Every structure is written in structure tokens, then in C-alpha cells.
Amino acid sequence: MKLYNYFRSSASFRVRIALALKGMPYDYVPVHIARGDHKLPAFGDISVEGLVPVLELDDGTRLTQSMAIIEYLDEVHPTPSLVPANLIDRARVRALAQIVACEIHPVNNLRILKYLTRELKVEEEPKNVWYRHWVRAGLQAYEGQLAQLPASTYSFGDTPTLADCCLVPQIFNGQRFNTDFSGLPRTMAAFEACMKLEAFQKSQPSACPDAEA
């Protein structure tokens, strides 16, 4: 398999974590989003959305959208599973993941931030305030959901799940923008537990071959 991705892309980071947790080997193909490589014609032939990640299977089939890719991986390689067996628990894990993937990430994606500054002429600090506001609001909702669940090592239970695949990259990005993580004890405890695991360590941006100094 090949994974077209960008080291700093949180969506790409999610897929790298899932692949690492499952021990699935892949070729890392860098696409430098900040430089605009995703807008080049060559990548347009790979992804009609012009976004990363893209997972190319051994037979040449290409899959897009991180959540769809992770669900595919979980179905073809079910051990370890990234969602619980119980249907209610599975829905709770997916809800946590979607707080990040559907509530926080879309309004803070790099292309959104660039639109704010280039098209709407928003200054750098107001843009950063925007970013921090939506990250914190989303993580407060995440924390609120965790508070309703039994105590656990990770976001849900004692093994990493789809929720953690989404949470960890969001925390990494939030750190870059100096987001306030105070008052989020269970969220941050889950993050810290994840970062003790090799799968998360080797998937982080600084460990990627295209990471910038």
C-alpha cells in the first residue's frame, strides 16, 4: 500500500496511527500541502478532492477521506479493533471521533485558515484566536462526553480506539497554536496514555520522513 500524506496533516496523522496500531506496512508518499503540491496536476490525477490522505491499495484502488480509510482498515484487518464490539459503545466512540473530525477540524483546516488570511484579510493573531476558540470549544465537548463514561486509560476503555486516532493529532495541532488545554483532565490523560505507545510515537509529525526542522 501507499499512503499519500503530509506530515503535519491531522487527517493523515489519523491514518498513520491506525496503520501503526494494526502493524500494517505501507509506503510513505509525501505531498507538501503548505507548498501547494496537492494542487499540482499530477496529484489531481490521484485525488479528485485534492486532499490528503489518499490510501492506494496493492491493486491500485485509491481511497480518500481519513475516516473512511480507517473504517476500511478496521474491516479488512479487524485485530486490534478500533471500535468496541457493543453497538452502543461503538456509537459512543464514533461520536467522540466525530467531535474532532466533524466539529473541530473542518473550521480549522489549513485551507480555511488560508482563506481567512488571504481572501478575508484576517490578521495573523485574530486567525490564531479563531483557531484556538474552535479547538477548545470542541475539546470541552469531548471532555464532557468523557465525563459521562466510566474511567478508562484511553478515550474509551483500556485500548486505543478510533477516538484516540482523531484526538491525538488534534492535540498536536492545538499545541502548535498555543491552545489552552486546562480543565480537560480526562482528555489530556488519554492523550498522554496514547503517546506512551510506539504506534503513536512513530506516527507523529516529527517522525515522518518529510518532517521539517
Q: pLDDT tens digits, residue range 132-150?
A: 999 999 999 999 999 999 9
CATH number of 2-80: 3.40.30.10
Please enumerate in sequence order all residues whose Cβ is within 8 A of that of 186, keeping only pairs 6 or more positions apart, or say none.
143, 146, 147
The tens digit of pLDDT for each residue in 43-81 reads 989 999 999 999 999 999 999 999 999 999 999 999 999
Q: Are 36 and 44 in contact (CB under 8 A)?
A: no
Residue ranges of E strands in the chain: 2-5, 27-30, 54-56, 62-64
pLDDT of residue 213: 42
pLDDT value of residue 58: 96
- Listing DSSP states for 172-198 in one string gives HHHHHTT---TT-HHHHHHHHHHTTSH
Answer whether 169's CB lies under 8 Å from 135's CB: no
User: To which H or E segment does residue 25 belong?
Assistant: none
Cα separation, 142 vs 155, in Å, equals: 9
pLDDT recorded at residue 42: 86
Please check whether residue 62 is in contact with residue 54, taking contact to mean a CB–CB distance below 8 angstroms. yes
Domain coordinates in residue numbering, the chain: 2-80, 87-199
Classified by CATH at the fold level, domain 87-199 comes out as: Glutathione S-transferase Yfyf (Class Pi); Chain A, domain 2 (1.20.1050)
Low-confidence ranges of the chain (pLDDT < 50): 213
Name the one residue in this structure whose C-alpha cell is 485485530: 79
